[in-house]
Amino acid sequence: MLEVRAFSAGYKGNDVVREVSFHVELGEAVMIIGSNGAGKTTLFRAMCGLLESSAGEVIFEGEAVAGMPAQRLVRRGIGFVPAERHLFPRMTVQEHLTLGAYPKRPDPETISIVFDLFPRLAERRRQHAATMSGGEQQMLAMGRALMSKPSLLVLDEPTTGLAPKLAHEAYEALGVLRRQGLTLLVAEQQVPLAMAFCDRGYVLENGVIELEGTSEELASDPRVRQAYLGVT
């Protein structure tokens, strides 16, 4: 479904990620793990058209989409939930969901899927995003992305700034979406959570892919165990 080949990107000629290759198949949940500053955010932002890439290819559903701006990628079915969320501070939950479906009218069925998934959003329909808690903002960012009915949902550190209980809830919601047939690509620092959830993963360190494998393979790799799972 998604294939990224020898992809490089960064700021002002300094590539933060270099020749990264990975793929995501239909229905899979794939994680990119790595420590802070490894380049996960740069990789996702460039792949999702918020940042220019300097080399490489991105093939989504058979079409070369590298360099395509975010506003066009979302219409092709890539939904992106960035780590900084990028909500509209002075707009209500309802307005976010309406805009999420832009330029179409919001589909009532999709709205009820979002509200079933996050009942808190239904309660806070008329509340402005700026007045919501971190957990609620994360739900809103995910809900807004779902309104465009993406076939691939890309999430950059969906648990940033969330208490452990809320982080678990975020992954429970992702589990529901997966059972509904959504393909997922997640960047995560909280490796145990992501590992329990995803089928496969890649380890990104200093801008290059160091390791790849199924979650079980990665969990038993001594380097991963030491660096990310706190096992010595």
Partner 1 sequence: MTATILDGIVLGLQFGILAVGLTLVYGLGGVLNLAFGQMAVVAALVVSLAMGAGIPTIASIGLGLLAGGVFGLLLDTTLLRPVYRRRGEARVLLSLLLTLGVAFVVDGLLLWRFPTEGLSLHIGGDAVEILGVRMRTGSLLASGIALAAFVALFLFFRGTTLGKAVRSIIQDEEGARLVGIDPNRMRTLILILSGALAGLVAVTRSMTSPVTVTQGVSFTIFALIVTVVGGLGSVAGAFLAGIILGIVNTVSSFYIGTFLTYIILLGAAALTILLRPSGLLGVPE
CA distance 2 to 152: 9
Q: What is the contact mask toward partner 1 in residues 188 to 227, using x (rule: CB under 8 A)?
A: ----------------------------------------
Give the one residue of 37, 67, 89, 134 binding partner 1; rule: CB under 8 A. 89
Of 68-76, 107-115, 189-197, 205-213, which segment contacts partner 1 by CB under 8 A?
68-76
Out of 144, 182, 184, 191, which residue is the one contacting partner 1 (CB under 8 A)?
144
Is there binding between residue 100 and partner 1 (CB under 8 A)?
yes
Q: Which stretch binds partner 1 (CB under 8 A): 10-18, 56-64, 99-107, 178-186?
A: 99-107
Residue 87 interacting with partner 1 (CB under 8 A): yes
- 87-119 burial, b for 16+ CB within 10 Å, e for fewer? beeeebbbbbbbebbeeeebeeebbebbbebbe
Instruction: Report the Cα–Cα distance between both ends of the chain, in Å, rounded.
Output: 37
Minimum distance from residue 74 beta carbon to partner 1 (Å):
4
Q: Which of 51, 70, 30 is closest to 187 using CA atoms? A: 30
Give yes or no for a cis peptide into 103 (omega within 30° of 0).
yes
Instruction: Give me the residues that bind partner 1 (CB under 8 A), please.
Output: 48-50, 69-72, 74-75, 80, 82, 85-91, 95, 98-103, 105, 144-145, 147-148
